[in-house]
Amino acid sequence: MIRAILAVLLAAAFRPDPWDTGPREALGAEVAAQTRPPPVYEREVFTYPGFDRRDPFRPLHLDTREGPRFGDLTLAGVVYNPQLGSVAVLTDRTTGRRYRARERDTIGTARVARIGMDAVDFVITSFGVSRRETLRVRREGGTDR
């Protein structure tokens, strides 16, 4: 029994350390690093022609534009001139601020699509979905024309 224990101790004492990287392994790794070509890093790049569409790679909660909400806007008046371009005068009911807009201008999430004599057509985009709305000039009696 003592011989068996002594044999195990001697074998463990003379066994080479598996973590010991001697000069042979270091030299081999150095030669291998010199003969191996350097790694090539390629990055795949995506482009998206959005036109009037929302970029699908951009998070929805970041799609907020500065400006008033469309529901808070009223059409105060229209300066109509088909030759030079008409101007719509809009009022924000919450702040009282006035906006002047021409066709294709953007106010908040609403883009002016067409300006008529007494109405303005908008394209409202929210969360990537577009819809059309029309604001009409309110007459002094409180009714639309």
DSSP 3-state of 85? coil
pLDDT in tens, 8-53: 776 766 666 555 555 555 556 666 666 777 788 888 887 767 676 6
The predicted model scores a pTM of 0.53
Residue range 60-136 forms a domain whose CATH class is mainly beta
Evaluate whether 122 touches 71 at the Cβ level (below 8 Å): no
Q: What per-residue confidence (pLDDT) applies to 120? A: 96
The structural domains of the chain, with segments of one domain joined by +, span 60-136
Beta bridge partners, 119, equal: 136
pLDDT in tens, 41-98: 888 887 767 676 666 777 766 555 677 888 899 999 999 998 999 999 999 998 999 9
Evaluate whether 96 touches 107 at the Cβ level (below 8 Å): no
